[in-house]
Amino acid sequence: MKIAVVTISDRASKGVYEDRSGPAIEATLRELLPPIEVERDLVPDEKPEIIAALARHPDADWIITTGGTGPSPRDVTPEATREYCDRSMPGIADFLRSKSLDETPHAVFSRGEAGMRGAQYVVNFPGSERAARSCAAWLAPLLDHGVKMARGEGH
């Protein structure tokens, strides 16, 4: 399985601080899944750059983004995801938001989306390291089945 992790952060993309959520997602998935191939990307909170980053990973089964899902005017990841995807997968986003609400009431501010482009899934995670790690752990058991279903192999 091939997974792309795209961190969306103005400050991390400028080197103001280190990207911690992207590495946390990768580490969590590597710990919980059989051997996987992971590609990483880091872009600022700019819709055209986010869409370009998603498009740079056409062979990924899953693209997981981290960051840019809140209510700030600069948070445009959900809009970029909707524009990139062909179909919406609201159940995935609802599942992650529901699990997150068990951890913190601040999860109500997450606008994360999930969708598909062809057989590829795109899922938005929050930008905090803790939330990214938790979302990766919750999503990991679903990844293989999702790939099989997208390929027409699942029932």
| SS3 category, 134 | helix
- Say what percent of the chain tops pLDDT 70: 99
CB 122 within 8 A of CB 65: yes
Residue range 78-113, pLDDT digits in tens: 999 999 999 999 999 999 999 999 999 999 999 999
Assign domain 2-150 one CATH number from 3.40.50.10860, 3.30.1330.60, 3.30.390.50, 3.40.980.10: 3.40.980.10
How would DSSP label each residue in 58-103? Answer: TT-SEEEEES--SSSTT--HHHHHHHH-SEE-HHHHHHHHHHHHHH
Tell me what pLDDT residue 86 has. Answer: 98
Mean pLDDT computed over every residue of the chain: 97
Domain boundaries, the chain: 2-150
- Banded pLDDT at 133 (limits 50, 70, 90): very high
Residue 155, pLDDT score: 63
Q: How far apart are CA 69 and CA 65, in angstroms?
A: 9
Question: Which strands form 87-88's sheet, in the order they lie side by side?
Answer: 37-43, 2-8, 62-66, 120-125, 114-117, 87-88
What's the average model confidence in pLDDT over 28-56? Answer: 97
Nearest Cα neighbor of 16 from 47, 45, 50, 54 is: 45
> Is 154 a residue whose pLDDT tops 90?
no
Looking at residue 64, its pLDDT comes to 99
